[in-house]
């Protein structure tokens, strides 16, 4: 969940060398080229094919979300933000003027650079759209997972916060904090840790016997960070991250469900069924209801229907699921088969469970560990379960949502890394150094100017074009598109393009650092500490 680096690959250049890659840096929102994907929150993950994330990890493409937003950020319009997990809930809250939140964290292991600016911008934009904005310094993670001293962390934390403020974060209308000084986060992490175990962390993060306990604890702390905006009440919360941080998002969504007093699902009979079995029962019910609209449908009727579709001798997973479903339906016999919403007691106190029974209006069936309601929709039951839980000392977390942005390409080709100064531009770089780095950058141009004019440049593989699309063009889509079209059309040569980008970068850094200097005079007024080392 913490943003630390931006990694990717780069293209060729008429004034340099290197093999071009297939990553798209332009306006495509389908993800780019085809390759394998590996996600590691603490590694140097690269993603050559963002589309693989849709299939392998269940991330949804963001392009259809853009039309739902009144004024989408340019990173959304240009496909830099390419994927999401259930962002529609945040978009709906935004449109309806309902509460929502945005949070992301920053591991202070070096200078903030232009790759981090993507996340800064996403947090600030959501704040400007009316969201509760949270930005945290993941100092416990930096200390445990990276081994930084507290003195180093204090220095870097100050730099990250200054750049965030200079870019437009409003501290009076948002929350800044450090993991190490936020007791609410630490207490929540302790509670969440009860629902996680080593085997799970090992499977998700490849931890082994050499992984220290503090590193594992930092993971649970990040889960608490992600859910922290909902401690004062449930609301859609978006976590802007790079795709390498998706393991954190998936675990946080699981833990948000596990700590609930109640689980809400759909059912058709008194017995329990898993998702695959429930799908078969639902399909059988729908078909029987269509054939016999005025008759009571019984479990035995569905069993007979499904048994007639059994393939003799089949032993695959589908056949096994069908067999178990038929068995359950037969055992239920003449019990009516009726759609209902089921509220399952997960962690509820006896008092909370009794209160839920009383709160459910209309027809219901009460069992030892669950309640079936026939009049509430699933959405109504979920809202009621959160309300009862909160009233009785429990949590009402909604599953956190997330948006994913592409990694930025290193200026020298390969990954953009904080440990390779020439590959990135620090937000603290002297503006003239920023100019020089852009002028020295790899591009997606052809070998010669003649080839460039004849064949056009390869803007989709150019880290300099990325600078325009991700940063230098700002909100001006026409300018970004003009640069792209002139490049691929052969009208724009790399030397002139880099000169223009270098000047714009120099201007950006000058402006940014002036604003940092203005904010530096007001850091003591913020409710965040920059001298943790002194108290350890």
How much is the pLDDT for 536?
74
Q: Which residue has the higher pLDDT, 110 or 7?
A: 110
Domain shared by 245 and 255, yes or no: yes
pLDDT of amino acid 103:
98
Report the pLDDT value the prediction gives residue 50, as an integer from 0 to 100.
Answer: 66
Question: For residue range 240-286, what is the model confidence (pLDDT) as tens digits?
Answer: 998 888 899 999 999 999 999 999 999 999 999 999 999 999 999 99
Which residue matches tokens 């309300």? Answer: 387
Distance CA 46, CA 5 (A): 10
Q: Across residues 327-342, what is the average pLDDT? A: 96
Domain-located, residue 199:
yes
Q: Is position 6 within any domain?
A: no
pLDDT at 516 exceeding the cut of 70 = yes
Task: Choose the final residue of a domain: 355, 372, 405.
Answer: 405
143-147, 153-157, 217-221, 269-273: least confident range: 143-147
Q: Given a cut of 70, is residue 46 above it in pLDDT?
A: no
Q: Of 393, 319, 396, 407, which is closest to residue 48 (Cα–Cα)? A: 407
**Quick check: 472 pLDDT over 70?**
yes
Q: Do 75 and 203 fall within a single domain? A: yes
Q: Torsion-angle region of residue 97: left (phi > 0), alpha (psi -120 to 50) or beta? A: left
What is the number of domains present in the chain? 3
If asked whether residues 239 and 283 sit together in one domain, one would say no
CATH number, domain containing residue 141: 3.40.50.620
pLDDT surpasses 80 at 83:
yes
| Range with the poorest average pLDDT among 16-25, 282-291, 400-409, 442-451 | 16-25
In a domain, 437, yes or no: yes
The b-or-e profile of 210-223 (16+ CB within 10 A means b, else e) is ebeeebbbbbbbbb
Beta-bridge mates of residue 175:
134
Residues 6+ apart with CB under 8 A from 449: 14, 493
Q: Does residue 54 have a pLDDT over 80?
A: no
Kindly tell me if the per-residue pLDDT of 45 is higher than 60. Answer: no
**pLDDT at position 484, please?**
92
Q: Are residues 343 and 483 in the same domain?
A: no
Average pLDDT, the chain: 88
Asked if the model's pLDDT at residue 403 lies above 50, the reply is yes
Q: Is 44 a domain residue?
A: no
Which among 380, 405, 430 is the end of a domain?
405
Backbone φ, ψ for residue 319 (5° rounding): -65, -40
Give the integer Cα–Cα distance in Å for 405 and 287. 43
Residue environment code for 233-250, b if the CB has 16+ CB neighbours within 10 A, otherwise e: ebbbbbbbbbbbbbbbbb
| Across 420-430, average pLDDT | 89
Q: What is the pLDDT of residue 30?
A: 36
Looking at the structure, tell me whether residues 359 and 467 fall in a common domain.
no
Mean pLDDT in residue range 353-367: 95
pLDDT value for 26: 45
On whether residue 500 sits in a domain, the answer given is yes
Same domain (yes/no): 150, 296: no
Same structural domain for residues 342 and 246?
no
**Residue 492 is part of a domain; what is its CATH number?**
1.10.240.10
* 520: containing domain: 421-525
Tell me 522's DSSP state: T
15: pLDDT strictly greater than 50: no
Name the pLDDT band for 509 (thresholds 50, 70, 90): very high
Residue 34 located in a structural domain: no
- Pair 153, 203 in one domain: yes
Are both 202 and 270 inside the same structural domain? no
80/213 same-domain check: yes
> Residue 359 has what pLDDT?
96
What pLDDT sits at residue 17?
A: 31
Q: With pLDDT > 70 as the criterion, what percentage of the chain qualifies?
A: 89
φ, ψ of residue 435 to 5 degrees: the values are -60, -50
Mean pLDDT of 500-510: 98
Give the helix ranges, DSSP H, for 112-233.
114-128, 139-145, 150-166, 183-193, 198-205, 213-227
pLDDT at 69 over 60: yes
Say yes or no to pLDDT of 5 above 50.
no
Domain annotation covers residue 26: no
Asked whether residue 30 is assigned to any structural domain, the reply reads no
Q: Is the pLDDT of residue 43 over 80?
A: no
- Considering the entire predicted model, what is its pTM? 0.84
**Residue 514, pLDDT above cutoff 90:** yes
State the pLDDT confidence band at 27, using cuts at 50, 70 and 90.
very low
What is the pLDDT confidence band of residue 312, given thresholds at 50, 70 and 90? Answer: confident
In 271-385, DSSP assigns E strands to: 340-345, 364-366, 370-373
Q: Give whole-number Cα distances, 471 to 44, 119, 120, 339, 360, in Å.
A: 22, 12, 12, 52, 52
Same domain flag for 256 and 275: no
Same domain flag for 84 and 208: yes
Find, among 27, 24, 16, 51, the residue nearest to 37 by Cα: 51
CA distance 314 to 311: 6
Residue 175's contacts (CB-CB under 8 Å, 6 or more residues apart) are 132, 133, 134, 135
Give Cα 171 to chain centroid, integer Å: 23
- Domain endpoint, select from 370, 405, 440: 405
Query: Residue 163: pLDDT above 70?
Result: yes
């Amino acid at each position: 969940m913490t943003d630390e680096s931006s990694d990717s690959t780069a293209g060729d250049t008429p004034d340099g060398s290197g093999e071009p890659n297939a990553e798209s840096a332009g306006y495509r929102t389908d993800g780019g080229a085809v390759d394998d994907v590996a996600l590691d929150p603490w590694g140097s993950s690269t993603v050559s094919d963002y589309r693989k994330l849709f299939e392998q990890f269940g991330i949804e493409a963001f392009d259809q979300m853009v039309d739902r937003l009144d004024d989408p950020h340019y990173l959304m319009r240009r496909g830099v933000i390419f994927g999401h997990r259930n962002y529609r809930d945040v978009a709906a809250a935004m449109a309806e003027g309902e509460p929502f939140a945005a949070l992301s964290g920053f591991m202070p292991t070096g200078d903030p650079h232009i790759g981090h600016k993507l996340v800064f911008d996403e947090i600030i934009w959501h704040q400007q759209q009316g969201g509760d904005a949270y930005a945290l310094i993941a100092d416990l993670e930096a200390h445990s997972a990276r081994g930084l001293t507290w003195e180093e962390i204090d220095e870097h934390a100050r730099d990250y916060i200054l750049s965030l403020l200079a870019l437009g974060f409003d501290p009076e209308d948002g929350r800044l904090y450090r993991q190490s000084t936020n007791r609410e986060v630490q207490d929540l992490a302790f509670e969440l840790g009860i629902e996680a175990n080593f085997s799970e962390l090992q499977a998700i993060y490849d931890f082994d016997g050499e992984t220290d306990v503090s590193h594992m604890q930092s993971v649970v702390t990040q889960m608490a960070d992600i859910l922290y905006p909902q401690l004062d009440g449930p609301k859609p919360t978006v976590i802007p991250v790079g795709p390498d941080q998706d393991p954190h998002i998936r675990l946080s969504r699981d833990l948000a469900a596990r700590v609930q007093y109640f689980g809400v699902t759909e059912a058709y009979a008194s017995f329990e069924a898993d998702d695959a079995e429930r799908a078969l029962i639902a399909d059988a019910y729908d078909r029987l209801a269509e054939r016999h609209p005025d008759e009571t449908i019984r479990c035995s009727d569905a069993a007979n229907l499904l048994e007639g579709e059994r393939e003799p001798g089949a032993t695959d997973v589908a056949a096994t699921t069908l067999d178990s479903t038929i068995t359950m339906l037969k055992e239920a016999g003449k019990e009516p088969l009726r759609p209902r919403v089921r509220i399952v007691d997960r962690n509820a106190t006896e008092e909370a469970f009794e209160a839920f029974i009383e709160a459910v209006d209309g027809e219901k069936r009460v069992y030892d560990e669950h309640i079936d309601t026939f009049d509430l929709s699933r959405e109504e039951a979920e809202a009621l379960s959160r309300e009862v839980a909160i009233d009785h000392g429990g949590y009402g977390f909604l599953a956190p949502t997330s948006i994913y942005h592409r990694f930025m390409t290193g200026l020298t080709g390969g990954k953009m890394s904080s440990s390779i100064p020439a590959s990135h531009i620090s937000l603290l770089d002297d503006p003239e150094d920023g100019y020089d780095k852009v002028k020295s950058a790899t591009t997606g141009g052809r070998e010669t100017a003649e080839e460039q004019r004849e064949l056009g440049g390869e803007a989709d593989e150019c880290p300099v074009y990325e600078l325009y699309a991700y940063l230098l063009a700002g909100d001006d889509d026409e300018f970004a598109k003009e640069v792209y079209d002139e490049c691929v059309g052969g009208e724009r040569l790399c030397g002139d393009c880099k000169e223009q980008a270098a000047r714009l970068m120099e201007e950006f850094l000058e402006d940014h650092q002036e604003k940092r200097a203005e904010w530096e005079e007001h850091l003591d007024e913020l409710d965040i500490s920059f001298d943790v080392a002194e108290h350890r």
